[in-house]
Amino acid sequence: MSDITGDSVEHTQSTAQKLSYLIVNVADSVTNLGGTFSSEMGLAMSLGSLLGKVKILVKIGDEVSKIHPYVNFAWQVLSTGFKVVQMQQHRDQRILDLINMMEDTYSS
């Protein structure tokens, strides 16, 4: 009976060590990923600045395009690219915020 108990204790200790090793690796991976995304933030900020300036022109274009259905259709086609990039930037920012939050949570 004590032999079975000893095997169970050893198995439990081995499993705990593997789990601890896995948690450390995950935390390191999250930290590395956060560093990678942090270095990309410079490019994202530059693009954000450009999109902020273009956003004003797009709002003006949205209003002007209401004068005629053909103009509205043409404007919708032209402004779609900007709107897609803007939505992608918003999603990217939310992912960066999540990664930073994970990094803060797991680094403690």
Residues 11 and 66: their CA atoms lie apart, in Å, by 72
Q: What type of residue is 96? A: L
Tokens 């999250």 belong to residue: 30
Domains of the chain: total: 1
One-letter identity of residue 89: Q
Q: What pLDDT, on the 0 to 100 scale, is given for residue 46?
A: 72
Gap between the Cα atoms of 70 and 94, Å rounded: 36
Give the range of the structural domain holding residue 85, as residue numbers without chain letter: 2-107
Q: What is the pLDDT of residues 3-48, one digit of tens each?
A: 566 666 676 667 667 666 666 666 666 666 666 655 666 666 777 7
The string of pLDDT tens digits covering residues 36-84 is 655 666 666 777 777 778 788 888 888 888 898 888 888 888 888 888 8
Decide: helix, strand or coil at residue 108.
Answer: coil
pTM above 0.75, yes or no: no
What would the two tokens of residue 74 be?
A: 């043409």
